[in-house]
Structure 1
Amino acid sequence: MKFNTLKPQLSEILTDKDRSIEIRLEEICKLLKKEIAHYDWVGFYFKNGDKAELKLGPYVGAPTDHTIIPFGSGICGQVAVSNQNFVVPDVAAQDNYIACSINVKSEIVIPIFVKGENVGQIDIDSNTPDPFKEEDERFLEWINTQVAEILD
């Protein structure tokens, strides 16, 4: 599977201490969008200080107006509250969905934990209906474990 072939490149990006964390996260977004056909928008959201909201971090894809997302709102806001992965095969079927683009058909959001605290998430939008499989979840969990290490 392509995911395993990307792990060495991702590890190299993440362990490059000559670059800021923000640059490293942006490089991850670029690599994922370039190499995985159904990853059309790739970004990170992080808890915004002590506020009950997420703030957009590095991302690659179409610009979004959703730079701040209240906890509980949309898929990302729900993950901030539930601490659970959220895979959405069809965004049109979701009641609590914040549309970033009319082209988006599906979404996957995986939380990032540092010392047991949900500090953020990786968010992937796809213009393809129902493309996300268990392998995507496991791969993104692996990425978030690595990201958590550089955030700690």
Structure 2
Amino acid sequence: MTFDTLKPEIKHIVAQNNLSVDERLYKICELLEAHIAYYNWVGFYFKNGDKLELKLGPYVGEPTDHTIIPFGKGICGQVAVSNQNFVVPDVSAQDNYIACSITVKAEIVVPIFVNGENIGQIDIDSNTADPFTEADERFLEFVCKEVAKILD
């Protein structure tokens, strides 16, 4: 599936009010991981209450020990501070990278904003070197805007 064919699927999942927020987020993770070959781990992190840390939400992929990430630490923690997308074509070249698996070669993290506040992010790991393009960024921004509708 292409990004354009996935967009209506994302909207459909978001609109399923009979499911909990976590169930819908998990379905989005499943959809992305199943239909984009180089999306090998797909998950959400959210601000953990008033703490300056992120807490792991629904995800699909290898289990991770990184259920809590302090702001500023790793790619996710940096996005929590910068409020900017972060595309890492080669994780081995990053000083401030938290390795989840030795198979991960690249990562992309896009923040989720609700009422102008960065409340979380989508995090995608790839076992393929340098797979992410501007099209991935735009698509994931779309996903985050849709997800924000159910987090408000």
**Same-fold call, TM cutoff 0.5:** yes
In structure 2, the residue matched to 1:69 is: 69
Deviation of the 1:138 alpha carbon: 0.1
Displaced runs of 4 or more, over 2 A: none
In structure 1, the residue matched to 2:124 is: 124
| Structure 1 residues 68-147: aligned runs within 5 Å | 68-147=68-147
- For residues 91 and 82 of structure 2, the distance between their equivalents in structure 1, rounded to whole angstroms, comes to 18
In structure 2, the residue matched to 1:41 is: 41
The share of aligned pairs that are identical, in percent, is: 73
In structure 2, the residue matched to 1:25 is: 25
Deviations 1:25-53 (A, max 9, x none): 00000000000000000000000000000
TM-score scaled by length of structure 1: 0.99
Deviation of the 1:130 alpha carbon: 0.1
- For residues 84 and 12 of structure 2, the distance between their equivalents in structure 1, rounded to whole angstroms, comes to 27
The aligned amino acid for 2:130 is D
In structure 1, the residue matched to 2:15 is: 15
- For residues 68 and 142 of structure 1, the distance between their equivalents in structure 2, rounded to whole angstroms, comes to 25
Q: 1:59 and 2:59 equivalent?
A: yes
The aligned amino acid for 1:6 is L
SS of 1:79's partner is helix
- For residues 82 and 7 of structure 1, the distance between their equivalents in structure 2, rounded to whole angstroms, comes to 26
Aligned residue pairs total 152
Where structure 1 has 5 or more consecutive residues not aligned to the other structure, the ranges are: none
Deviations 1:39-97 (A, max 9, x none): 00000000000000000000000000000000000000000000000000000000000
Q: CA RMSD in A?
A: 0.7
Deviation of the 1:9 alpha carbon: 1.0
SS of 1:139's partner is helix
SS of 2:44's partner is strand
Q: 1:2 and 2:14 equivalent?
A: no
